[in-house]
Amino acid sequence: MSKMSVSAAIREGMREEMQRDERVIQVGEDLGVMGSPFAITKGFLEEFGPNRVIETPISEGSFTGMAVGAAMRGIRPVVELMYNDFISVALDPVMNQAAKLRYMTGGQVTIPMVIRAPMGAGRRNAGQHSACLEALFTHIPGLKVVCPSSAADAKALIKASIRDDDPVIFLEHKLLYAKKEEVPDEEIVLPLGQANVLREGTDITILTWSRQVYFVQEAAEK
């Protein structure tokens, strides 16, 4: 077991997948020299080079659409949006293309891409950088939505998301980035769409995700 933050766990999960599969690429703003706004891709440019760590202009619709096209050709792009709020300017390639193409082609085309985005308030990032849009994404047929709550889950789920043949929206609460927990040294890839039972009881069932998990656990102890 190694203790690491949620942000480091996501970074290590993506690094391992890029080492494992040369089709995995990173696409987004400031991913290379800067290592992304929250340092999630720090060191990737030096390790994997500019052909796999692709810096883009500030045009979410354009580079998300580019990633959809790359996925159609067998590449496995991981797109980073600086904040999940900005997916509003990339909804066409996400909702009308990535989410639908498998079904429009009778399964002949798959879109193995991940869209990563920080979400949530609490860092004084103002109204256009603080939304939680997971409810919106879960109402778009064809998308899978992942909201990890711990470092171990974040690493295992980013690996599963990259290996999935359908588009995945991977949402990371900003206030969890620095939270440190034990992460297994052995490789773990968690199945998408399967709940983790953290505590068994007899009275009620609470379904939750992301940062809310810790508030629910605290309430359950009282």
Catalytic site residues? 60, 129
Q: Which of 80, 3, 82, 14 is nearest to 43 (CA)?
A: 14
By CB atoms closer than 10 A (0-12, 13-18, 19+), residue 217 is middle
Distance between alpha carbon 11 and the CA centroid of its chain, in Å? Answer: 11
Contacts of residue 95, Cβ cutoff 8 Å, sequence gap at least 6: 140
In the chain, at which residue ranges do the beta strands (DSSP E only) sit?
2-5, 24-28, 53-55, 76-80, 114-119, 144-146, 168-173, 180-183
Can you tell me the distance from the alpha carbon of 15 to that of 92, in angstroms, rounded to the nearest whole number? 29
Q: In this structure, what token pair is assigned to residue 185?
A: 């040294």
C-alpha dihedral sign at 193, 73, 154, 1: positive
